[in-house]
Amino acid sequence: MSRNKSLLGLGAVLTAALTVCSMGSANADLNPSPTDAVGIGSDTVQNMGNFLADGDNAGNPGYNSAFPKNRMVSFDATPDANDRAGYLNGSSASLPKALNPTIVLRQGLQPVQRPNGSGSGVAALIGDIGATHNIDFVRMSRLPKSGEYAAAAAAANVGPLRAVKISTDNLKLATATTTNAPATLTAAQIVSIYQCTTTDWIAVGGTTGTIVPQIPQSGSGTGDTFRADLATLNGGPTVTLGGCVQVGEENDPAVLASNPNAIGPFSEGRKNLYDSGYFNNPANKYGTPQVALTSGIKFNSETTYTTNRGLFIVFRDNDTNAPSKFQPGGSRNIIRDLFYNPGGGAPFVQGASGQADITAAGGVATYVVCAVAATTC
């Protein structure tokens, strides 16, 4: 009897221990090891980061496909594989409340706010001032700003920043496929819509409907680009956004597709990825027939507004000469192996597999090394 009780007690202890271990390791994302290469940042560039790390659905291998000991880990800006923002129901099912999702940057660390956007990503890199880095690179849909460069140069263990351009991408205005907007708007009309002085589509040649202009969330490189472009469309002066402008997750077509009165900036590369059939309807469980999602949007006023921009990987320039090697027995550190290897062979993003991954993510693959603290590239 005593022995049985002891065995039962041991079983209970083991069960409890396993439960505690399971609870301690329950995280939505992979927890990188201390020697993995960790990236964060832009929503626009996140699929490129994912494909570069783990390969794409067209069969092009990613860096991790060769099963290296140390991996490339690129945390999405959004907590959903279909690139959607995370929400909880608000006061009703029709009033969603945006989450503030988190990530664990390295094994053994506590969760921190998930950087969502180019600005949020580079700010996190600048704030990563420990002697041991938790963040190695940032995906950006714009170059860092002068203030960000200055802050990095002044920060302990950060220093000057360098970018490499891995792709180009067109930013355009988009509406639902079935929309009340006219096919083409003038520059003045676009400015007026975002100033909220024009509020009905019928006033600009469309069908009656209250206009719902959209702009990406704070910290978004796409949002920064579009605000600068509005000033250009306005002849130079900054455009003050009107109260009717709504903030939403960049490059998530859901709001645009579901509202015939909505309009907003959208990445052509992201639309290309939708058109390729990559995203599946989340209502279809695994093991049942999958149905590809379509974006449900179309581009508007392309001759009036199309901006060709670069998409970048940004890192500490000092890390180019870090003495630690990324892989056991290897000759390159993280930056030289993945992104920038001056005087040596091509880093992964410049090679054939990396370029194919970028193209599969909807981008126009390129490889340009930008100067330290570059304002153009």
pLDDT (tens digit per residue) in 180-218: 999 999 999 999 999 999 999 999 999 999 999 999 988
CA 241 to chain centre: 24
CA 296 to chain centre: 21
Give the mean model confidence (pLDDT) for residues 112-127. 96
**Cβ pair 214, 256 in contact under 8 A:** yes
Q: pLDDT at position 26, please?
A: 40
Q: pLDDT at position 89, please?
A: 57
Q: What gap in Å lies between CA 107 and CA 34, rounded to an integer?
A: 7
How sure is the predictor about 20, in pLDDT bands with cuts at 50, 70 and 90?
very low
- Label each residue of 18-63 as H, E or C: HHHHHHHCCCCCCCCCCCCEEEEECCCCHHHHHHHHHCCCCCCCCH
Q: Give Cα separations from 331 to 70, 115, 325, 344 (angstroms).
A: 14, 31, 6, 11
Hey, which residues does 96 pair with through a beta bridge? Answer: 89
Q: pLDDT at position 12, please?
A: 39
CB neighbour list of residue 104: distance below 8 Å, 6 or more residues apart: 27, 29, 31, 110, 111, 112
Q: Is the pLDDT of residue 10 over 70?
A: no
β-strand 161-176 against 364-369: which pairing, if any?
A: antiparallel
Q: Is the pLDDT of residue 338 over 90?
A: yes
pLDDT (tens digit per residue) in 354-373: 999 999 999 999 999 999 99
How sure is the predictor about 348, in pLDDT bands with cuts at 50, 70 and 90?
very high
Phi, psi of 339 (to 5 degrees): -125, -35
Token duo for residue 157: 């263990």
**Cβ pair 116, 43 in contact under 8 A:** yes
How sure is the predictor about 29, in pLDDT bands with cuts at 50, 70 and 90?
confident
Q: pLDDT at position 27, please?
A: 45
Instruction: Tell which residue, 173, 172, 174, 179, has the closest CA to residue 259.
Output: 179
Q: Give Cα separations from 263 to 179, 191, 213, 268 (angstroms).
A: 9, 12, 5, 15
Q: Is the pLDDT of residue 74 over 70?
A: yes
- Label each residue of 183-248 as H, E or C: CCCCHHHHHHHHHCCCCEHHHHCCCCCECEEEEECCCCHHHHHHHHHHHHHCCCCCCCCCCCCEEE
Instruction: Tell which residue, 170, 167, 165, 198, has the closest CA to residue 340.
Output: 165
**Percent of the chain scored above 70 by pLDDT?**
90
Q: pLDDT at position 84, please?
A: 84
The residue among 22 and 338 whose pLDDT is bigger is: 338
Q: What is the mean pLDDT of the chain?
A: 91
Provide the CB-side half-sphere exposure for 206 (13 A, CA): 27
The domains located in the chain, with CATH, are 37-168+313-369 (no CATH), 170-308 (3.40.190.10)
**Cβ pair 105, 32 in contact under 8 A:** yes
Q: pLDDT at position 266, please?
A: 98
Q: pLDDT at position 30, please?
A: 85
**Percent of the chain scored above 90 by pLDDT?**
85
Q: pLDDT at position 95, please?
A: 55
Q: Give Cα separations from 50 to 101, 126, 227 (angstroms).
A: 18, 23, 28
Q: Is the pLDDT of residue 264 over 70?
A: yes
Residue 317 is given by DSSP the state G
N- to C-terminal Cα separation, the chain: 78
Q: pLDDT at position 3, please?
A: 34
Instruction: Tell which residue, 140, 164, 159, 166, has the closest CA to residue 316.
Output: 159
Q: How does 247-276 read in b/e, with b if 16+ C-beta sit within 10 Å?
A: ebbbbbbbbbbebbbbbbbbbbbbbbbbee
Token duo for residue 268: 């052509």
